[in-house]
Structure 1
């Protein structure tokens, strides 16, 4: 419910409920008052009760917005609503001389309106909660669809890049040069090449993979690159085992490694070194020494923008890019599925 629409619905509802309250009013204190005065009093009471209820509902909605905390939110909201409906109208009762101070202090006076107030409070709060739940469900569905579409684009772009003639030419050229010199190395190269494609195909329908799976894949990918640049490329992993169960979007690290190769000189005079490590237990960092090429290959648009979009969809998470005079680092968040129950991703 948009903010403007909610305001309209609330105040239209207040005027309509005031009519029902007027027709239901059997208060002997106001028996001699004209009907318009009855309606005015009912309108004031309804406005106070409804706006107070709205404030309570939105307070707990902001405090416990997650679907996983729905029970806690409803319980606290209901308890607060009962208290509010019992005491919220006391000042108005005194102002309009509906009751005296003496009557306010009696339990009987508060019990008189509980059935009607409880029904109105239940209808209003449940309507808000039902609409809120529906909106959250739509958001989850929309998030899933966005992630699915982005994932499909990612798969296509990565497959397109790796299946391109340039990539195949380089891989086959490397394999051809290895075969006469070292048959065992050629077999190892072929196996790693198949692992790279197998990983992409096996994870085509997944939004998140474990860090261990992604690192195993990156090792296979780096193996191919190191065969192309035997003395010009080195890499180091510094990952504690306790983080291997955390998750990231598939192909994230591969894209960052690919960008490092694409944008930097890799030669004997200027070897490229890539570090992959954990930062503060919350992010995995891909770092390389900075030695930019004078000219770049045509971009396939599978780099940082793609990663940014996917992390934005995954709960509006952000990646950090840090550039110094000698190094380039990208930190991407690690996702703990045990703490992210509302994502519903596998």
Structure 2
């Protein structure tokens, strides 16, 4: 069952609450009024105070929007709404001519019905915050579920790519050649191939890994590729060790390297160069010279869309793709700490040199 919106509930609730409050709140100022006058005055008070409190609550949600800020937001909301419900009724009474400024010089008149206002502030703040917390919790749960589904798709697609007959055929073919030509190199190749699969199996379920881990894996992966393209593929890693403790989604660099191999010609006349380096302090760039194939080998659609989707779930930080006449670049933001996934959104293209 779909509940009515907050706005509908509020505008239905104002006349209902206003009507009942005209009988609950009794003071000497209204003794000479008719019942209709009391109801109308009560409706004005209820409408202004309810809408004003809601405006405050919504503004504070913008200032403290996240689930970890719930406690702080609740305390600030209660204090500000309480202050509003004490001050605003006096302004309404002045505007309606119910009291004069001289009347409000009396502290007792200034804080008239303050107990009711404080209880109302607590109830309104609690109801709205409870509803907002539940709404945010549902969103967080749905986002986590989407992320888990995306992780499962990533695991399947990456394993499908790396364990495809095409990849295995090339690896085994290279290994067979090395065994005949250089047994020591064949052993190194076998060990590296084992490390690549071990990394995929160990980290396929993790949300983030350190850049150091990802670089180590990517270098092993590149080593296997360079056995296939000994003179036609050059991959340069120029990343200072000071950045290696930042975090990245696992298999990101491998997917980008794989995409460069998959989509570009690699030959003696057209060697492929891939550069992996830092831009600013929190963006890693994967850049390759652009020499697109006319026909592409079969793809499982892993890669850029997958990486972009995972980064949306991790913290709404964009990856940026920049294509020039000669180069293709993908800029991937790094994450400072695992516990601080939700960071300020910074477009990755700022400062990248074409």
TM range (shorter): over 0.9
**TM-score, length of structure 1 as denominator length:** 0.94
Match of 1:301 in 2: 301
Match of 1:223 in 2: 223
Q: Deviation digits for residues 162-200 of structure 1, max 9, x if unmatched? A: 111111110000000001211111111111111111111
The structure showing larger relative contact order (alpha-carbon pairs under 8 Å, at least 6 residues apart) is 1
Match of 1:60 in 2: 60
Q: How big is the shift at 1:76?
A: 2.5
Match of 2:289 in 1: 289
- Correspondence list, 1:1-346, <5 A: 5-337=5-337, 340=340
Q: How big is the shift at 1:338?
A: 6.0
Contact 2:278–2:284 (8 Å) recurs in 1:
yes
Distance 1:199 1:288 in 2: 24
Distance 1:146 1:18 in 2: 44
Structural RMSD (CA): 1.9
Q: Structure 1 pair 157/64, CA: closer, same or farther in 2 (3 Å)?
A: same
Q: How big is the shift at 1:342?
A: 5.4
**TM-score, length of structure 2 as denominator length:** 0.92
Distance 2:154 2:324 in 1: 29
Distance 1:103 1:16 in 2: 30
Q: Deviation digits for residues 55-99 of structure 1, max 9, x if unmatched? A: 111111111212222333223222221221111122321233432
Query: Structure 1: which 5+ runs fail to align?
Result: none
Stretches (4+) displaced over 4 A: none
Q: How big is the shift at 1:250?
A: 1.1
Q: How big is the shift at 1:341?
A: 5.7
Alignment: residue pair count:
342
Distance 2:35 2:156 in 1: 70
Q: Deviation digits for residues 230-268 of structure 1, max 9, x if unmatched? A: 111111111122221221211111110000001111112
Query: Structure 2: which 5+ runs fail to align?
Result: 344-354
Distance 1:341 1:222 in 2: 29
Q: How big is the shift at 1:155?
A: 0.8
Q: How big is the shift at 1:34?
A: 2.0
